[in-house]
Amino acid sequence: MAARPFRVLPGFGLTLGYTLSYLGLIVLLPLAALLLRLLDLSWPEFWRLATTERALAAYRLTFGASFIAALVNALFGTLVAWVLVRYQFPGRRLLDALVDFPFALPTAVAGLALSSLFAPNGWLGRWLVPVGIQGAFTPLGVVIALTFIGLPFVVRTLQPVLQNFEREVEEAAATLGAGRLRTFVTIIAPSLLPAVLTGFALALARAIGEYGSVIFIAGNKPYESEIAPLLIVIRLEEFDYPGAIAIAAVLLAVSFVLLAVINLLERWVSAWQH
């Protein structure tokens, strides 16, 4: 009889039980509580609360700024990942570590730092405001904050793909007479596209739910620079729990859609690499 392979962790049944219990308490139970409260609302009431003029303005800013920030990160995050992987230079390890800085920095601290930087009397604001660029207390400030917190998602998604990319393919293209631009457009870019899209989706999902770093730089003016997560907090402070639940349900639905898209993109990346 063949000996059973030694396993460091306990058996499948026990570990699966712990996994389901942990996920149930941390993830499923809060979601179930929200859905149960949502069921107390009739469809007309939910639609009325979720589509007020103020809520629609908050959705437009939240989704629009998140999309723009994720798009900027997809572009410049790809460039940062390319430089970190393809080139050796002094300070490279420090630059690589700084990419994770938005992960470690408390979001409130990030918001305060950005608002101080882009305020009219800030280091950058004193030069930008006179030329008409209002970086703080405007919708542009929301984009800046969301770009700051979303950059690591794109860079860390692309780095493994670039590290595993076969240089021989580029060398073969060069020997066949292809220039650098043609090699990038026809060979490198199609290979990176699935990973770029995955990083874009991750940054977008993170930006939609961001709160701490945004409220300090946004200005939080209703109908102008007020994000949806902040409106939920305001509704709770007003004891308008149905209104808060309705807006939260909209964000939750969008998050589920993005989660499904991210999983599909990850499968696409895995199939592409194999």
> What CATH number has the domain bearing residue 182?
1.10.3720.10
What was the pLDDT predicted at 164?
A: 81
Question: Is 9 within a domain?
Answer: no
Closest by alpha carbon to 269, among 202, 169, 175, 174?
A: 202
Number of structural domains in the chain: 1
Q: How far from chain centre, in Å, is Cα 271?
A: 23
Which has more pLDDT, 262 or 101? Answer: 101
Distances (CA, A) of 273 to 91, 162, 184, 196: 31, 11, 17, 14
Question: Is 10 within a domain?
Answer: no
Q: Mean pLDDT over all residues of the chain?
A: 85
Residues spanned by the domain of 227: 63-273
d(C-alpha 213, C-alpha 151), whole Å: 14
Which residues touch 127 (CB under 8 Å, ≥6 apart)? none
Question: Is 80 within a domain?
Answer: yes
What was the pLDDT predicted at 2?
A: 54
What was the pLDDT predicted at 207?
A: 92
At residue 143 the predicted structure's pLDDT band, cuts being 50, 70 and 90, is: very high
What was the pLDDT predicted at 65?
A: 95
What was the pLDDT predicted at 242?
A: 92
Question: Is 126 within a domain?
Answer: yes
Question: Is 52 within a domain?
Answer: no
For the residues 189-198, what does the mean pLDDT come to?
83
What was the pLDDT predicted at 195?
A: 85
Q: How far from chain centre, in Å, is Cα 189?
A: 22
Question: Is 27 within a domain?
Answer: no
Which has more pLDDT, 7 or 106? Answer: 106
Question: Is 197 within a domain?
Answer: yes
pLDDT at 3 over 60: no
Question: Is 21 within a domain?
Answer: no
- pLDDT tens-digit profile of 45-102? 999 999 999 999 999 999 999 999 999 999 999 999 999 988 888 988 999 999 998 8
What was the pLDDT predicted at 233?
A: 93
